[in-house]
Structure 1
Amino acid sequence: MTGPPRHVTETVRLFAGDCTVTFEGERDRTQRGYVLVVVKPDRTVLVHDAAGYQPVAWLTRADEVTTETEDDSFSVTATAGDQRLHVVSAATVGQRELRISEAGAPVGSCPDCGDALVRTGGDVVCLGCDERYGLPAGATVLEESCPDCGLPTMRVERGEELELCLDWRCESLADAVADVLDGRWDCPDCGEPLGVVNRGNRPFLGCDAYPACETTFSIPAGVAVGECSCGLPVFETAAGRRCLDGTCDRFRDHVETHDGP
């Protein structure tokens, strides 16, 4: 699943020199020294001196950041609400723009460009060509590669444990879930089978009698391990056992467990 149209690699701007740093906010202060100013792509501005890891001044995810350069001088102004960070150079040591990206756990190589794939948050991203693949909730990226496209495969639990390519365009999660869950349980309201319905590669279970019966259930990230006294399956999830119907608590009174489907 391809994520939002956002570049994985962006640009961080660095300014260094003898600067006057003024912060206006809850506690106004003015400082001067040879410092390094870091302007990140998310509009976070950090001002570091030679001591320790803590910035001497910063503004996180500012509403607006303005940078100005002229000859050997620069200024950086960041504002967020009633807070303002203003840095003005008296002498410039250097200015640079450098490539920067999200950092994540390495999970393989991109089959398109050969650069590294990393998992960061709920995505797998390529550091070279900026391709991004969204992961379903609870997915585990595996060492094995897809035989068709070369991307890593993933393990996903949706009623059963499934292994498929992390690119939904190569191997659809909705199709894989339909293969194992379609018609497996009946609607508790009308008795008709529950079928797998796909919306944007996000499968859920809906009554086959729709629109006469509008019963629907999201499919938890877990494996079906038994039957609730309401007739629906019980799922083993990372947060514990629960009925397919997230509003039902009757499975706590009586659950029939089994080893197979």
Structure 2
Amino acid sequence: MYNQRVVIKVGTNVMTNKDNRIVKPVLDHLVWQIAELYERNIMSILVSSGSVIAGMEVMGESTLTDTATRRQVFSAIGQPRMMRHYYNIFQDYGMKCAQVLATKRDFNPGNHRDNMVNCYEGLLSEGVVPIANEDDAVSLTKSMFSDNDELASLVAELTKADKLIILTDTDGLYSGHPDAKGTEVIKNVSVDQDVEKYIQTIAKGEAEGKGGMGSKLNIAKQTASKNIPTYIANGKRKRVILDIMEGKSVGTKITL
């Protein structure tokens, strides 16, 4: 029986290169870390972006002009492709994974929420790694998550996770512009600490990804307020998940 559980959210910018292509070695390293945690009796729940980009890789240019419809189509095509990637990599480590799709309304009290709890608990008890995704094909307007950070937060609360790790392509929350001299990563933030002034908006051409640092910090504070320590860290850093779980000072840690 595992003694801890952690929700790991990996963003689009972590797993793609400058040409917006999925970088398989990044996924390999991610799964290797999850397998290492499993050996330490720590179960992971993965919230993975990438389905839209994976769909774009298959479809190429689209004639669809409506942004919402285009995302639905790309995601519907890309989700099985992403799951095939994960299935094969987890299999290499002798592990199993499963996809759990949800819309925001599924987290409201009631049968849908209860069914999700049963599903997650059943998978975790069998040593299967759940991979949570938004059900983009039917998620519109009020049933949509603002981004996968919000989905990860709700999953962490739902599953009573011990930690939430949000992996992005920066080292955490900076004290100024990342390129400015003297700027440092803010290592620790409390939920009532005013650090929003440090948020920097930097145009990065994030393709079909959603959720900047302001959104991540807001979600992290919401999650930490429920007594779930939350980390914002660089997913391209080697062993980043293991380092966090080992208590090393990595990224920005948000707590009560």
TM band (smaller chain) = under 0.3
Say which structure is richer in strand: 1
Normalising by the residue count of structure 2, what TM-score does the alignment of the two structures yield? Answer: 0.21
Look at both structures and tell me which one has the larger radius of gyration over its CA atoms. Answer: 1
Structure number with greater CO (CA < 8 Å, separation at least 6) is 2
Query: Structure 1-normalised TM-score?
Result: 0.21
